[in-house]
Structure 1
């Protein structure tokens, strides 16, 4: 089934095939390029009304703050933002609600309804995870460095540990990222992935070019890592969208350079009807 599209403020939500695998109390969305107040390279395809949510891209601070305010209206509480460093640190989102400075991390998790786990992406792969009973969710920023270092395996293990359920069924949604036809990398990236993934996976995820470099499939690498962690193939749902190939809807660092905007990929557990969203807690 195609991804859900809402005109005006352009967002994606995981397809029904993913929603059928998680609890009705789990919700998620991905912000696209259009629907904010940024302009120029941080704008939409026309250079206006861009929804860039990243403060480190050179965009005007007031525009980023307003864009984040727009995004916050779509979810139960202010998103818990991260300072992403292409590592494997995973934080408990509850501890960072209302924090003045974001934690240096590339994934967050929560078991508290109303807390919104969030990662920012342009070409890197966002992976949103939930168990099938709506007890825990996580958002992961899965660039190639973090993938090679095992961030997905680490996140799955943490979620099952927190659930005290080593056989918990988890479902993953793979969001928009640079497509396999556009992500050219060197031998170093393939060698890094070889530390955790078997040769047959590498052969399928890397296509060698005549210039000696490779085209890499981030989604296939992520799916293989998730399957190695015990997720069923049917529980890994890929949106199949490339940020690089679709300038109309997506920012792309590889395509547009240092001034590329960023999208927000968010997941949360819905608060019970009639209850307030989770209140901000002091940072740990």
Structure 2
């Protein structure tokens, strides 16, 4: 089965690394999870979710390892022993094994995919995880696993809630160590008293740059606003509440 034409695929250079980011399209779930819902804890028919996951596995040709995500910073080092094992709680994963895919699920939070010589990683980066250091934790573990430097790591930022609609309060600024009076409007744009519009992709780029990563792409899609033929292209929890989950996966061939 080929990749669905609406799904996103990043370019990783030599072709040894592949990735995919699903959209709403390509599955069999009915509304409000229509149609490529990959989340098992959002109320969708479990049998249909299993079929959707089987479609993704067939399209990628990789063995997919899903996580129980909790907006934390734990990184799981994946091996083939995780296939068929109970799902573990983590918000990022790393592997050096070929054909084994690091997977994170999202519906407004940002997926961050990483490729290094000899390994790959994926991180689930909502504002809590990003502020807590999940991206740096994944990067650090990937570098340890492969013996590379951050400057050798290539990163891709997937769709997330965009900077024109991501309304946040002072708690989010505080989470990033920003005082409201000194907030950079390109990161936190004042909206009204006590509210700002947060630029999640830019905040991720800042943290990656500070960690020594120089190769970053993506980050231009908004899960809330982007449409295809008049229909929402992505699942968005902030917009819809009850909805599905997309997946971003990366693996070495």
TM-score by length of 2: 0.91
Aligned to 1:158: 141
The offset of 1:212, in angstroms, is 2.3
Aligned to 1:103: 88
Aligned to 2:209: 227
* Kept after mapping to 1: 8 A contact 2:73/2:134: yes
Name structure 2 gaps, 5 residues minimum.
Answer: none
Question: Can you list the C-alpha shifts for 1:90-140, whole angstroms capped at 9, x where unaligned?
Answer: 001215532342110001111111001000001000000012x3x110011
Q: Give the Cα separation in 1 of the matches to 2:182 and 2:218.
A: 20
The offset of 1:161, in angstroms, is 1.7
Aligned to 2:50: 65
Q: Give the Cα separation in 1 of the matches to 2:191 and 2:171.
A: 15
* Kept after mapping to 2: 8 A contact 1:76/1:115: no
Say if 2:238 is the partner of 1:254: yes
Q: Give the Cα separation in 1 of the matches to 2:81 and 2:37.
A: 22
Aligned to 1:207: 189
Aligned to 2:25: 34
SS at match of 1:65: helix
* Kept after mapping to 1: 8 A contact 2:151/2:213: no
Structure 2 CA distance for partners of 1:84 and 1:96, relative to 1, 3 Å: farther
Question: Can you list the C-alpha shifts for 1:236-278, whole angstroms capped at 9, x where unaligned?
Answer: 1024010100253111000000x211101000000xxxxxxxx
SS at match of 2:27: strand
Aligned to 2:75: 90
The offset of 1:194, in angstroms, is 1.2
* Kept after mapping to 2: 8 A contact 1:201/1:221: no
Name structure 1 gaps, 5 residues minimum.
Answer: 44-49, 271-284
Q: Give the Cα separation in 1 of the matches to 2:149 and 2:221.
A: 32
Aligned to 2:7: 11
Of residues 14, 31, 36, the one that matches 1:51 is: 36
Structure 2 CA distance for partners of 1:54 and 1:77, relative to 1, 3 Å: same
Q: Give the Cα separation in 2 of the matches to 1:239 and 1:187.
A: 24
Aligned to 2:225: 245
Q: Give the Cα separation in 2 of the matches to 1:231 and 1:253.
A: 30
The offset of 1:159, in angstroms, is 1.5
Of residues 161, 166, 169, the one that matches 1:178 is: 161
Aligned to 2:15: 24
The offset of 1:200, in angstroms, is 8.0
Q: Give the Cα separation in 2 of the matches to 1:96 and 1:256.
A: 36
* Kept after mapping to 2: 8 A contact 1:91/1:105: yes
* Kept after mapping to 1: 8 A contact 2:201/2:219: no
Higher deviation after alignment, 164-173 or 112-121:
164-173
